[in-house]
Chain A
């Protein structure tokens, strides 16, 4: 196990490369989903208001 973690002496390069990749990919995913949900909620509330004041228009 410790041999695996040592990465043949390249541990300080291999692990950060994987960690930062995973962090950035997760981060971009979280940010993307967060703004998606926010706009979804906003649109839902606006459409509710719109339906209350005027008939649906397509």
Chain B
């Protein structure tokens, strides 16, 4: 019976390891293909916007970053909830792995937003609902990462971090609806209605390719980071065994 416990605990990480091992090469190539196509299309072939001119090209890096900052948070909060309910190891690893990626996307959303804000709004930064809630999102990511770093006991760290992630989803909701709830300089959602987009296809097709590229990059790196965490766990267990032996 005792021998059954480590086996069942390993069962899912095992399945994850073999699944991700098979998927990752394909995911990596698809990511590269989408990102190269999307960036070249966005820079060279998309037309200039009739109001924003060539500055509209910033959209192809700004919007995907901003979307992925939210997608990564959804993964972080969802995995955290699963971790609290089912105490599943792999859920902790998914959440822990998503955080630095989400922080990077949020950082890019803020920086490319500032670079777009200067020519369009006349300022790099405005304490406006959307950028402000994005800045808070960035700090929540940093706080989440810091929690894992500072709490020694892995199980306690996982719980504390999961609670922070779930409480922080209030801010994620604010980010999402900030452009609707407040009068803000930021324009509303770019692709809210896929059946009748507010954008011409020559904009939204390359934008979609960029966004898919960012999404695939996130999923690919998420898998690699989760594999790293599974290996770290195994290393920890092997070390304990060697000390105990």
Residues of A within 8 A of B (CB): 4, 7-10, 13-14, 16-18, 20-22, 24-25, 27-29, 32-33, 35-36, 39-40, 42-43, 46-47, 49-50, 53-54, 58
Contact = CB atoms under 8 A, between A and B. Distances in A.
Contact of B57 (A14, A24, A49, A50): A14
Contact of B53 (A8, A20, A53): A8
B75 interface: no
B228 A36 contact: yes
Interface of B is mostly: helix
Contacts of B227: 36
B242 to A, nearest CB: 7
B7 interface: yes
A16 B107 CA distance: 14
Contacts of A40: 231
Contacts of A7: 54-55, 57
29 contacts: A4-B44, A8-B54, A17-B62, A17-B115, A17-B116, A18-B61, A20-B112, A21-B61, A21-B108, A21-B112, A24-B104, A24-B107, A25-B35, A25-B104, A28-B100, A29-B221, A32-B221, A33-B224, A35-B228, A36-B224, A36-B225, A36-B228, A39-B228, A39-B235, A40-B231, A43-B238, A47-B238, A50-B242, A53-B242
Most B C-beta atoms less than 10 A away, residue of A17, A29, A46: A17
Interface residues of B, number: 40
Nearest to A39: B231
Contact of A21 (B65, B231, B234, B239): B65
A25 B137 CA distance: 19
Contacts of A33: 224
Contacts of A4: 44
A32 B107 CA distance: 17
Contacts of B239: 46
A14 B217 contact: no
B176 to A, nearest CB: 22
Interface string B48-89: 100001110110011001000000000000000000000000
B242 A49 contact: yes
Contacts of B242: 46, 49-50, 53
B92 to A, nearest CB: 16
Contacts of A21: 61, 65, 108, 112
Contacts of A24: 104, 107-108
A22 B210 CA distance: 12
